[in-house]
Amino acid sequence: MTAPVLKSSACPHDCPSTCALDVELLADGRVGRLRGARGNAYTAGVICAKVARYADRLYHPDRLLTPLRRVGAKGEGRFEPISWDEALDTVAERFLAAEARHGAETVWPYHYAGTMGLVQRDSIHRLRHAKGYSRQFDTICTNPAWTGFIAGTGRLAGPDPREMALSDQIVIWGTNPVSTQVNVMTHAMTARKKRGAKIIAVDVYRTQTVKQADLGLVLKPGTDAALACAVMHVLFRDDLADRAYLAAHTDCPQELEAHLATRTPEWAAGITGLSTDEIEQFAAMVGRTKRTYFRLGYGFTRSRNGAVSMHAASSIAAVTGAWAVEGGGAFHNNGAIYELDKSRVEAPELCDGRTRQLDQSQIGRILTGDAAALQGGPPVTAMLIQNTNPVSVAPEQELVKQGFARDDLFVCVHEQFMTETAKMADIVLPATQFLEHDDIYKGGGHQYLILGPKLTDGPGETRENLVVLNELARRVGAAEHPGFEMDARAHIDWMLQASGLGTLERIEADRWIDCQPDFETAHYLKGFAWPDGRFRFKPDWPSIPAPNDGPMGPWADLPALPDFWPVIEEADDAHPFRLVTAPARSFLNTTFNNTAESLAKEGKPSLMMRPDEAGRLGITDGAAILVGNRRGAVRLQARLFDGLKPGVVIAEGIWPNEAYPDGRGINTLTGGDAVAPYGGAAFHDTAVWVRLA
């Protein structure tokens, strides 16, 4: 029996780990098992189980294999096969007809993070810029988190994530890496085993990460800033603040200390649901352990006060001076360290800044004609969708469905499977998966730029994103640009050379490039990225250089200093519970939610409830229940779980809409209103009622 050949790649999915992979190629050319690359110091040989069994996705019997044209009603799922030329000609004709009637902004190319590849994901911008189509303001995931972190540091970067293994204490806040980012746990556990490091986990329910922590804090959703402020109060009160560091590296430590004088553990306990003893213990552990690494996730920022919460949590490391030592400081994402020239991919020189930028989270409002969401411009009457499944993942799902059902809306979806969004399309194009095309990836959760070469041919008539975009550009008369004449390998080579990072040939030999800055830069010992070089406890919120389309939401009411900001969707008599839609271990957004093993591991869509609260409503474990609010109602089953604060319910995973008895997914309940100061979707900030079905 011939042994598998190992080839190199990178995980393409929307996860900060961006794992370096060893891929088994079997003798028949098929892909076998995927493993973490041991030679990569961050991946360190460990990947999640769902990616390890990736062959289940590659060879899934439901892969789309040929272009399709809708012959039934929208959403009915009846299509007929057509040729690629007929499909692309139809898309071009419909785009040109829509443009002739309403202007170019009526066409909205819509995409997101189904792949994180810099060529296959981002080339859609080149088409939109070359035609003057509506731009997209990305708000589904990052805005509150990035804005909140940059508010203090001035830059989206932090200490080398590999330093977690050198820490004496790791605070894992707002992320559940046991389920969603396994490499964080790899390095935290290394520190525990080799250094006796303590692990502290802060979350809104007793996750697997909380269970493994030395101190696990379960607090009410949206109250993280109150906890952070109380911790800093104790640090000042007990002389655990590093006053020399504060004087040298921060903007207004005395003003902060005075402001926090009333933010006591007792005050925070009343807000967070934690005990004063828990808060005091957390503060003492942080204050007495200089070498503490704060690993701050996205979860706690998916609230209407998320940017404020992120800023408050990151401020703790400045009060203790943890930034000054190896294995200390605060980290969220390393996006700023990758200084890449993507001009051939995105064609920014063709972008007209006057073209409207539509909020991806408000796609339901946009497609149902909301004038404010459309920014006073024409209706969206034509769409190209790649790398995302908005009929399932976008908030305000009932509006999204209504919008996609419009007879005057033409939709082309380029996909790997017949998703909920693909079922609403007029033309469906079959897409390759990551091992079937070339691309390059940057690790938000680490410091590597990793090559992901094509290792196998895609099945049937599948085509990669880049090819489809270049073909459409020719058919719709897009402005000329060299990027439209380049294949993925040429794009990668040009990007690397233009960015001073070598060549495609070099990265093919080396597999990845370590872009980690030096210690002093990563720890801001030469100064934070503000003109005065100081960490800002008092940010100028409207001027933070984060992804934005101008201030939005109630930005004028943002607190001047770290504080609990009560703008969350509070529970009330009609909606006594607060819902968090947390990730499931075996899914990644809607990726993997159609593979047999992932479905078997997750069971059925369920709502985690405290036994005492369920009992008062006559709800037993496994009972059919309805969860609802003014946006709609979702039917699922109850799962009794005691690892919650009173009034909190959890629904894990974005299941296929068809997995719910009424066909309504969990995002029926989530809101699309813009989070201050620069937008975002508050997926973990929803007030609901619960009752027996």
**Residue range 135-151: average pLDDT?**
96
Is there a cis peptide before residue 677, judged by omega within 30 degrees of 0?
A: yes
For residue 411, what are the β-bridge partners?
383
Cα–Cα dist 501/512, whole Å: 11
Confidence category of residue 147, pLDDT binned at 50, 70, 90:
very high
- Length of the chain counted residue by residue: 693
Q: Compute CA distances 580 → 239, 343, 500, whole Å.
A: 36, 38, 43
Distance (Å, whole) CA 436 – CA 459: 9
Q: How far apart are CA 186 and CA 169, in angstroms?
A: 14
pLDDT surpasses 90 at 549: no
Sheet holding 512-514, edge to edge: 439-442, 448-452, 512-514
Q: Are 687 and 571 in contact (CB under 8 A)?
A: yes
* Predicted confidence (pLDDT) per residue in 253-297, tens digit: 999 999 999 999 999 999 999 999 999 999 999 999 999 999 999
Q: How far, in Å, CA of 202 to CA of 560, rounded?
A: 24
In the numeric block, the tokens 């809101």 are attached to 671
For residue 442, how far is the Cα from the chain centroid?
14
Three-point CA angle 304, 308, 313, nearest 5°: 125
Pairing mode, strands 382-386 and 410-415: parallel
The answer to whether residues 85 and 45 touch, using CB atoms and an 8 Å cutoff, is: no
Q: Copy the structure tokens of residue 189.
A: 């556990």
Q: How far apart are CA 307 and CA 298, in angstroms?
A: 10
The answer, yes or no, to whether residue 3 has pLDDT greater than 90, is no
| Distances in whole angstroms, Cα of residue 233 to Cα of each of 78, 284, 563, 683 | 61, 11, 11, 30
If you compute the radius of gyration of the chain from its CA atoms, what whole number of angstroms results? 25
Give whole-number Cα distances, 312 to 9, 191, 305, in Å.
37, 26, 11
Q: Which domains does the chain have, with CATH numbers?
A: 5-59 (2.20.25.90), 68-138+339-431+462-481 (3.40.50.740), 144-335+520-543 (3.40.228.10), 577-692 (2.40.40.20)
Residue 91 — φ and ψ, nearest 5°?
Answer: -60, -45
**Alpha-carbon distances of 492 from 436, 469, 503, rounded to whole Å:** 16, 17, 8
CA distance 255 to 546: 25
- 431 bridge partner residues: 463
The predicted pLDDT at position 1 comes to 63
Mean per-residue pLDDT of the chain = 97
The predicted pLDDT at position 444 comes to 94
pLDDT digits (tens, 9 = 90+) for 93-140: 999 999 999 999 999 999 999 999 999 999 999 999 999 999 999 999
Q: What are phi and psi of 385, to 5 degrees?
A: -120, 125
Q: Does residue 21 contact residue 13 with C-beta atoms inside 8 Å?
A: no
Among 15-24, 234-243, 541-550, whose mean pLDDT is lowest? 541-550
If DSSP states are collapsed to H, E and C, what string results for 160-221?
Answer: CHHHHHHCCEEEEECCCHHHHCHHHHHHHHHHHHHHCCEEEEEECCCCHHHHHCCEEEECCC
Task: Report the alpha-carbon distance of residue 336 to residue 203 in Å, rounded.
Answer: 27
Query: Per-residue pLDDT for 546 more than 90?
Result: no
Integer Cα distance of 180 and 586 in angstroms: 9
Query: How does pLDDT run across 150-168, given as a tens digit for each residue?
Result: 999 999 999 999 999 999 9
| Cβ neighbourhood burial of 642 (10 Å; 0-12, 13-18, 19+) | exposed
The pLDDT value recorded for residue 360 is 97
Distance CA 353, CA 565 (A): 33
Predicted confidence (pLDDT) at residue 493 exceeds the cutoff of 70 = yes
Retrieve residue 275's tokens. 């005990």
- Give yes or no for a contact between 656 and 627, defined as CB atoms under 8 angstroms apart: no
- The reported pLDDT for the residue numbered 26 is 94
User: Coil, helix or strand for 516?
Assistant: coil
Does the pLDDT of residue 323 top 80, yes or no?
yes
Q: Are 657 and 665 in contact (CB under 8 A)?
A: yes
Phi and psi based region of residue 632 (left: phi greater than 0; alpha: psi -120 to 50; beta: remaining) = left
Return all residues near 245 (Cβ < 8 A) that are at least 6 apart: 318, 321, 323, 324
pTM of this structure = 0.97
Give 551-610 pLDDT, tens digit per residue.
999 999 999 999 999 999 999 999 999 999 999 999 999 999 999 999 999 999 999 999
Which whole-number Å values give the CA distances from 416 to 55, 76, 597, in the listed order?
14, 18, 18
